[in-house]
Amino acid sequence: MFIQRYSGASVKDMGCCGCFGFSFAKKHKNLKPRVQGGNHVLQESLLNEEVEEDEEEEEDNSSYSDNMTDTERGDHSEFRYPAKSSEEILMYRTENGLICREFPVKETHRVVRSEDENGSKMVNEYVREYKIGSGSYGKVVLYRSQVDGKHYAIKAFHKSHLLKLRVAPSETAMTDVLREVLIMKMLNHPNIVNLVEVIDDPSTDHFYMVLEYIEGKWVFEGAGPPGGLGEHVARRYMRDIVSGLMYLHSHNIVHGDIKPDNLLVTGTGTVKICDFSVSQVFEVMSSSSHGKNYHGKTADTWAVGVTLYCMIMGQYPFLGDTLQDTYDKIVNNTLFLPEDMNPLLKDLIEGLLCKDPTERMTLEEVAVHTWMTGDDEPFPQFTCWCKRNKLQREGSDIIIISNSITITN
């Protein structure tokens, strides 16, 4: 590939093309073949059935536009995974109960498609309201539950379409969707969109991911030229983004597509990370996977820097007219920052967008950076479910008050 002719830090270590608006780089990835294994019920029903052709139109796909310290990283580090692909690692974690959730994602294996008294289409308990997104794999629709009255964003897929759509020599789009489901079933964090339910009926062609609905906006909204969001808002958003991403990295999950479109702001101003369709999971103790794990995390960190730049400057850094032009600017151009920019903010952006990944600021360093802490405001602490279990096994007492957790010996 043409990336390889550049000297110095590789462009792929800096961040994904999605950060610069090249959405086509997100799907149909050139990934190394991955072995699919395990006997998980979802995988069996998705991959082993003879799917039916649906009478409706073929649906498009979409992303739902869906902190830990060093000592806390890798709560599963005591386990050595026998497999190396994301799918095998995920299956191993699932089968051995290594899931960072107090309550598992609901799994439903029967689909009832009907209408309510007003003629609105229904899927099980969910009443369809309107489509909110689309892409190459399926669509995202807003539904309301008749059970709790809440709104949910539901990703709807045709399994026959996923199985036909090849994204690499040995995998189909089903691989991407299945991996996304398995990753989201591991996660529970206030700054990550929650997967509520998976609906997969082996007798039908329909497959649904029921996600919490974020009734808000993207972090980039309101940041357009000539000005950005302002430091106060950008700082609040950044703290949420870094907290959620530190949680992912502590569980050896690389998001791979951090960008404003995948960072949703709730009505109360909380940022949640969404869209794990290109995410990967890495082994904790494998020397062969250490390099890929490291570069994936530094690429996520670069993408955080691009996002912060967008929020402050109202535009992307290094953005060219073509993909090649963007690569050239990333490698060769100097980062532009206004002379009158807050020196602390300038230091943070330069640290995040350092082109050498070995010199790039880490998320742990970002969390304690003076600009991030503001007026001595502490960085939000979050002790996840698997960490709490580990502390309890070690004999620590855990006191939970709202979202704050106090640990005593």
Concatenate the DSSP letters of all residues of 197-224 into one string.
Answer: EEEE-TTSSEEEEEEE---SEETTTT--
Closest Cα partner for 221 from 256, 269, 258?
269
d(CA 253, CA 272): 16
Which tokens hold the place of 78?
């005591």
Q: Is the CB of residue 388 less than 8 Å from the CB of residue 398?
A: yes
Per the residue annotation, which of 201, 257, 275, 300 is the catalytic one? 257
- Alpha-carbon Rg for the chain, nearest whole angstrom, is 21
d(CA 193, CA 271): 9
First vs last Cα of the chain: how many Å apart?
A: 54
Is residue 387 marked as binding? no
d(CA 298, CA 296): 6
Does 257 qualify as catalytic in the annotation? yes
Sort strands 121-123 and 126-134 into parallel, antiparallel or unpaired. antiparallel
d(CA 246, CA 252): 10
Which tokens hold the place of 322?
């073509």
CB atoms within 10 A of CB 331: 17
Which tokens hold the place of 121?
């289409």
Q: Using alpha carbons only, give the angle 89, 135, 106 rounded to the nearest 5 degrees.
A: 45
Contacts of 283 (CB under 8 A, 6+ apart): 80, 81, 84, 89, 252, 289, 293
Residue owning tokens 């699932």: 94
Q: Catalytic amino acids? A: 257
Binding-site members for ATP are 155
